Amino acid sequence: MIGIVVASLLVLVAGLLSLWWARASWRGTLPQNWLFGYRTPLTLSDKDAWTTVNRAPAPFAAVGGIGTSAAAVIALVLTLLGLSSIAPAFFGAGLGWLLLWTVLGIVPAHRAGRNYKRMRSSA
């Protein structure tokens, strides 16, 4: 049971980090870094590109973070209610949900980067 509680809490942290990432990206306050955000040679060399490209997938990161956090809380509550046999399905689904929305966020990030380069080259 302790292992499931710890796993649920770790999945909750992942969901909350995704929500932080989404908020900071949307607001344009996500600092250039090597851990969070879409990192490409363009985004790492140009602060405006970093902000533009990372703002595009922010809604995807938010959806991923909300779903992941909810799944982790459900898993935690189920475990505390003595239903620990089904709790891993919820935190597993939460991680899958986060992965899905993170990967889907690549599409708008790529488009934003392509549009940014096009805009900069025509200016």
Distance CA 40, CA 72 (A): 31
Q: Containing domain of residue 105, as a range?
A: 2-30+37-122
According to DSSP, residue 116 is labeled H
Distance CA 93, CA 110 (A): 26
Q: Could you give the number of structural domains in the chain?
A: 1
Contact 43, 54 (CB under 8 A): yes
pLDDT in tens, 1-52: 888 899 999 999 999 999 999 999 999 999 998 888 899 999 999 999 999 9
pTM equals 0.90
Predicted confidence at residue 69, as pLDDT, reads: 97
Q: Which amino acid is at 86?
A: I
Predicted confidence at residue 123, as pLDDT, reads: 64
pLDDT at 84 over 90: no
- Give, rounded to a whole angstrom, the gap between the first and last alpha carbons of the chain: 60
pLDDT at 72 over 70: yes
